[in-house]
Structures are given as structure tokens and as C-alpha cells.
Amino acid sequence: MGYYQDCPIPKPEIRAVTQKRKQKEEAKNERACREITRKRDLGKCRVPGCITRGPLHLHHITYRSASSRRKWATGNCVWLCTDHHRLEHAGEITITGDADQELEITGNLDLLKFRL
């Protein structure tokens, strides 16, 4: 008889199965976060005064690469229009705070005005 048949220790899960389970959990968390934040932000850009109704991008205030724990936390995700999202990643504007409470947007005000 094999070791795992005689031993009360459960057989370890195959690595591929574990990875697939994590991927499914990650996808579920992403879908939930997107749905909750889209309702919270009313399908609009969160930059005050922005009137863009075009495509929106989900922005992570703390980048996904910096914190896997906060990756899909609703307070870390905010919807931005394409232009404001591009400006944030270019470093022209900075978005900080908790998206569930209040955001602080700082940076070049002249660049923000083009969409206000």
C-alpha cells in the first residue's frame, strides 16, 4: 500500500489544480469588485467635474503589483475616463485616499481642466 493510503495526512493537491483554483477565486473577486465599484461610481469618471461619458478604466489607487492584498478591495479601485487614467499613469495627476470615502486628486490643474 502507498504512503497516503496508510497515513491520516491528506494527500497534497496537485499544483496545477491549486493554481486553477486561485485563478477562479481571483476572477470571482475581480467581477465582484468591478460590479460594486461601477454602481458606487454611477458609471462615471470620479474626477470631480469630469463630464466624459465614454469608456471607463478601473484604476487601482495602490497598484496591483504593490499590494496583492488590496488588489480587489473596493476602497482601492476607482473608475476613471481614458484621459484621466492616462494622466494618472503618466504622473501628471495623483489620486490618493479611500475610494469608498473621499479621494484626493492633486497635480497639474491645467491638464485637468481640459475635461472639466
pLDDT tens digits, 36-84? 999 999 999 998 888 887 899 999 999 888 877 888 999 999 999 999 9
- Per-residue pLDDT, 7: 66
Domain residues for the domain of 104 are 10-115
Indicate whether 1 belongs to any domain: no
CB 75 within 8 A of CB 10: no
Domain count, the chain: 1
- Per-residue pLDDT, 1: 52
Indicate whether 36 belongs to any domain: yes
What is the DSSP annotation of 7-74?
SSSPPPPPHHHHHHHHHHHHHHHHHHHHHHHHHHTTTS--STT----S-EEEEESS-TTT-SSSTT-G
pTM of the entire predicted model: 0.78
Residue 16 has pLDDT above 90, yes or no: no
Indicate whether 5 belongs to any domain: no
